[in-house]
Amino acid sequence: MARVCDLTGKRVQVGNRVSHANNKTKRKFFPNLQKKRFYIPEEDAWVTLKVSTSALRNITKNGISAVLKKAKADGYIVY
């Protein structure tokens, strides 16, 4: 399973680990993903999503329906 947020599309980023001597080696920055169940009242169903913590904050602020609608419009969800 890919480390990608289902709602925002956040994924692993690549960068450099820089030592004190300024040596550079490749490293990965992983998104903070959590597996979470959400209840969607319009569909009367529970959905399990892998979401980033920033997406969880958006869901708390705007509601799951609005966030799902925006994710579908942005092309992250196809159903």
- What pTM did the predictor assign? 0.84
Q: What spatial distance separates the first Cα and last Cα of the chain, rounded to whole Å? A: 19
pLDDT for res 46? 96
pLDDT for res 78? 76
**pLDDT(28) > 70:** yes
Read off the tokens for 71. Answer: 């994710």
Provide, for the chain, the percentages of residues in helix, strand and coil under a 3-state DSSP scheme, each rounded to the nearest 5: 25, 35, 40
Domains and CATH numbers, the chain: 13-74 (2.30.170.40)
Q: What share of the chain in percent tops pLDDT 70?
A: 97
**pLDDT(36) > 90:** yes
**pLDDT(59) > 80:** yes
Q: Of all helices (H) and strands (E), which one includes residue 52?
A: strand 45-52
Strands 13-18 and 24-29: antiparallel
